[in-house]
Amino acid sequence: MQTKFVVYAFAAMWLVLFAMSFVVVGVVAPEDDDFARRLSRIASFLTWQLGALVVAMISAFFTQRATARGAEGLRLPGYGPFALSLFVLISFIGIVGYRVWLQPLLAAWFGLV
């Protein structure tokens, strides 16, 4: 099997996992407690995103091997999913960090409480 088709297959698997992470958030079963529901949404989103990141890492590995052999036209489907998955996860961590740590700290400093 050619490495080019392997990269495209992993890119397709990544796209499915990446899209499912956003779809599943909307269809999480309602809980009795609102906090439990929000926590369940975050856990399901991160689980799907981490799965997509693993698939993107494998795709990037095969892309690197294929480009070393001289294959062309694999940069976007090979490295794009990895870059986008990293961006989404780092952005998510930054937003949660701001909301949980920095926003209350700034509110306490400037008397916005």
Give pLDDT tens digits for 90-101. 999 999 888 888
Mean pLDDT, range 55-80, rounded to an integer: 90
Q: What is the mean pLDDT of residues 75-83?
A: 93
Residue 112 has pLDDT above 70, yes or no: no
Residue 8 lies in a domain: yes
What total number of domains does the chain contain?
A: 1
Q: Which domain holds residue 35?
A: 3-85
pTM: 0.83
Residue-level pLDDT at 47: 93
C-alpha pair distances (Å), 79 with each of 42, 67, 74, 87: 26, 11, 8, 12
Instruction: Indicate whether 49 belongs to any domain.
Output: yes
Kindly state whether residue 106 falls inside one of the protein's structural domains: no
Residue 95 counted as domain residue: no
Residue 73 pLDDT > 60:
yes
- pLDDT tens-digit series, residues 22-50: 998 888 776 677 777 788 888 899 999 99
Question: Which pairs count as long-range contacts for 29-33, CB under 8 Å and 24+ apart, including other chains?
Answer: none
29: three-class secondary structure by DSSP: coil
Cβ-based neighbours of 46, under 8 Å, separated by 6 or more? 89, 92
The reply to whether 36 falls in a domain is yes
> Within a domain: residue 94?
no
Is 68 inside any structural domain? yes
| Residue bearing tokens 């794009």 | 80
- Judge whether 52 lies within some domain: yes
Separation CA 69–CA 93 (nearest Å): 36
